[in-house]
Structure formats: structure tokens, C-alpha cells
Structure 1
């Protein structure tokens, strides 16, 4: 078992709790994005034993984080919203040079790739102007909301695997985010199982599709990924903080995010 994946799962799990922050981006920062796609898509193959050594510790880290830190993240977003967002903003901006280097942008990108990057970035950035309506929190299951929660989990997990696209933000747009956070913080097992089943199915389907497209249309997919990451900056940008303590905390959080991204990028470069 690759037990070091527990801490990687911890970081991915934290990001997946926050609307606007992508678990796929964190996987890129950690240098495990390609392998994550291969392992998820290969889990239901004859080589499942090889992949479970990678996935199980990662799933343990993500699962523990979702259960243990849902209340903390909810507290931070309510009481220290801007510093929390600026930390992840630093992480996201810090990963752009790393992915650009992986994609060999200056060598492989043509004019069309830059246009694709800008169009995708603008499309995602435009979602920053969407204000989801408050939805009531679901605490008990009916046939109708079971189907809805399952499909919402599916949609959210597909977004989680795409760098720059936040699964939590998709749940927010669908009006399910409050239900998911409440279920995790109160250990509402039936709700967790339904949403979790949708997440698992979404992971299996989307990982195969993304892995295929990355292999077949590498440069275009990197252009889309970079566009999604750039666009997500506008989605999670919380605005200019007030002067004084909020401003100082936000600056420190942003710089810390940049440093953490650089640390992971440097570690990944040294091991490849």
C-alpha cells in the first residue's frame, strides 16, 4: 500500500469541501493526476490489485477529511472566508507554471490552443456571476430526492476530476451542497451513501473519458485544463479584503498557498 497517499487524500479532501476549489487541481499540484485517472479507470480491470494499492490510502485520506473537517471548513468559510479563499487562490496560481511546463506550452501550443484556453477560461469565469438560490437541506430520503442526490453526486464527481472545476461548486449550483455538508457533519449515513454512490459512478465514467482524451488530444486537453484553472481564479476570488487584520491575514494566506504549491511542485520535479 502507498500509505503516503493518505496525506495526499487529506489535501484533496480539504479542497473538495470548498466551493470553487478543484480536487483535480490539487492532484496536479501533488503530481498524481495522470496516475489517479489510470488507477480509477483501471480499478475494474484484471489489474485491480495494483491500482487498489494506490487508491485505497487515497480514499482513506479523502474520507477521513470529509468526515473530520466538514465542520472546520464550514467554520472557516463562515468566519474567515477571505483568508481561506486567498490560501486556495495562492495554491491555484502557484500550479499554473508547473502545468504549463508539463504541457510544454511554448513548444506545443499553437494559436488555436491559446484561443481554446481563453474561451474555456472565460466560460468558467462567467459562473462567478451565477448566484445559486438557497435550497432546503435534505435530511430524509424519498424516491425522488434519492435519484436527484445520486445524479448530483455523479455530476459533482465528474467536475472534481477536472482541474479548475469545483465539485463542491457544482453541488452548490444544483442546490445540494448544504445537504452534503450537513450529512457529513451530522453523519447522516443514508444521505452520504446515496451521494457517495453517485460520486463513485461519476469517477469511473469520467476518469476513462478524461484519460482517453488526454492520450488522444494531449495539447488541446492541456489547453482546456489550463483554461479551467485560470477561470477558477475568478470563481473563487473573494474580493479585496478590508484593511487591517483581514487584509494581513489574506495576504499571508495567499503567500502561504503559493509557497505550498511551489513545495509540492519542487518535490514532484525532484522525484521524476
Structure 2
């Protein structure tokens, strides 16, 4: 068992609670992104035993973080939204040097890759114009149709979770399911957790195979799309700035802290 994946899973679980930052981004930051895709896509293959030691500690860390930190994240977003968002913006921006170096963009990127980078960034940035309701009430209806909708919402969110730059929580927010998911986690509503979680798990398996195929056959194009999406996600996360000086200083501090955190992880990966 790779028990160091416990803390990695905790970090990924915390960020998957945040509308705006992707667990895939954190996986890139931790240097386990491609290993994660291989493990998920290979879990239901003949080599599944080789993947258990990697996935079980990671899943335990993510599950623990989702249950433990859901209330804290909800509190921070409701009462300290701007500093929290700037911390995550710092995390995201700090990933870019690592991805640019990993893809060797200066040597490998052609004009078509730059164009696709710009397009993907613009598409993700355009999500900032959606008027998503961050304070909506959870869904109380437990009909079969509603549960089916929650299942497919989890499926769609899982695709975003694996892609650096797109947040699964933001997808849930746009679909109107985010308040329901947070409420289910914080109140331990096992039915809703199971329904949304099943959609996430199935989506992980299907999406990981597709992303892994893209990385193996179209690595430069995939990296260009990923970098563009990460750049565009900054526009989605940007909360604006309050007029008072104290809040601005706190936002600057949290941004620097987030940026430094990512760069430290990047240096450790390089070492």
C-alpha cells in the first residue's frame, strides 16, 4: 500500500469540494496525474491487483476529506469567500510552470497547439458568466427521476475532476446540484451520497480511459488543452476585490501562500 497517498487524497478531496479548482490540478501538482489515470483505467482490467495499493489509500484520504472538511469549506466560502478563492487561484497559477516544463511547450508546441490552448482557455473562462446560484437550497425530492439526474450530475462532475483546470464542484454548481451535494456530505445523507458517488465512480473509470488515450496519442495537444483550461479557470475563480484595505492585504497573503504551496510541491517533484 502506498500510504503516502493518504495525504495526497486529503488534498485532492478538499479541492474537489471547491467550485473553481480541480482535483486533477492537484494531482498534477503532486506529480501523480498520469499514474492516477493509469490506476483508475486499469482497476477493472486483469491487472487490477497492481492498482489497489495506489488507489485505496488515495480513496481513503479523499473520502475522509470530503466528510470532514465539507462543513469547513462551506463556512469559508460563505464567510471568507475572497481570501479563500485567492488561495486557490495561487495554487492553480503555480501549476502552470510545472505543466509547461513537463510538456516542454517551448520546443513541442506548434501554432495549432497555441490556438487550441487559447480556445480551451476562453471556453473555460466563459463559464464565469454563468449566473450559478452558490447559496441555493438542497434538493428534497427523492423521486427516481431526481435520483437519476443526481447520478448523471455526479458522472459529469467526475469528468471535470480528472481534467486539470475544470472543477467538478463548479459543474455541480452550474447544474444546480452543488448545494445538495454539500448538504448530503455535511449531514451524512447516505442515499444522496451513494447516488452521486456512484455517478462519480463510473465517470472516473470511463473518463480516465479517454484522457489516458489522449495523453498517449496526442500528448502535445492534450497538454495545450489542459494548460488553456487551467488559465481559463482563473477567470472563473476570480472573486473580485472588496474596497477595504485589510481584505485586499489578506487576499494578497492567501494568494502568495497558495502560490508558494504549489511551487514547493513542484520543487519536491523535481527533486
Q: TM-score, normalised by structure 2?
A: 0.98
Q: How many residues align?
A: 270
- The match for 1:10 is 10
- The match for 1:128 is 128
Q: CA deviation at 1:140?
A: 5.1
Instruction: After superposition, give the CA deviation of every residue in 1:88-124 in whole Å (9 maximum; x if it has no partner).
Output: 1001111101100000000000011101100110011
Q: CA deviation at 1:49?
A: 1.4
Which range is displaced more, 118-127 or 129-138?
Answer: 129-138
- The match for 1:191 is 192
- The match for 1:163 is 164
Aligned counterparts of 2:179 and 2:96: Cα–Cα separation in 1? 30
User: Which ranges of 4 or more aligned residues in structure 1 deviate by more than 3 Å?
Assistant: 133-136
Aligned counterparts of 1:241 and 1:126: Cα–Cα separation in 2? 23
Residues 139 and 191 in structure 1, CA contact (< 8 A), matched pair in contact too: no
Aligned counterparts of 1:119 and 1:40: Cα–Cα separation in 2? 28
Instruction: After superposition, give the CA deviation of every residue in 1:164-207 in whole Å (9 maximum; x if it has no partner).
Output: 00000000011100000000000000000000000000000000
- The match for 2:91 is 91
Aligned counterparts of 1:194 and 1:240: Cα–Cα separation in 2? 37
1:217 corresponds to 2:227: no
- The match for 2:54 is 54
Q: CA deviation at 1:136?
A: 4.1
| 2:75 counterpart SS class | helix
- The match for 1:31 is 31
Aligned counterparts of 1:242 and 1:39: Cα–Cα separation in 2? 47
Q: CA deviation at 1:142?
A: 1.2
Residues 83 and 250 in structure 1, CA contact (< 8 A), matched pair in contact too: yes
Instruction: After superposition, give the CA deviation of every residue in 1:224-267 in whole Å (9 maximum; x if it has no partner).
Output: 00010000010001112333221121111000011100111011
For structure 1, list consecutive stretches of 5 or more residues without a partner in the other structure: none
Aligned counterparts of 2:144 and 2:246: Cα–Cα separation in 1? 49
1:239 corresponds to 2:246: no
Which range is displaced more, 138-147 or 50-59?
Answer: 138-147
- The match for 2:206 is 205
Aligned counterparts of 1:185 and 1:120: Cα–Cα separation in 2? 34
Aligned counterparts of 1:251 and 1:95: Cα–Cα separation in 2? 18
Q: CA deviation at 1:135?
A: 5.0
Aligned counterparts of 1:219 and 1:171: Cα–Cα separation in 2? 29
Residues 127 and 235 in structure 1, CA contact (< 8 A), matched pair in contact too: yes
| 1:2 counterpart SS class | coil
Aligned counterparts of 2:17 and 2:260: Cα–Cα separation in 1? 21
Q: CA RMSD, aligned part only?
A: 1.0
Q: TM-score, normalised by structure 1?
A: 0.97
For structure 2, list consecutive stretches of 5 or more residues without a partner in the other structure: none
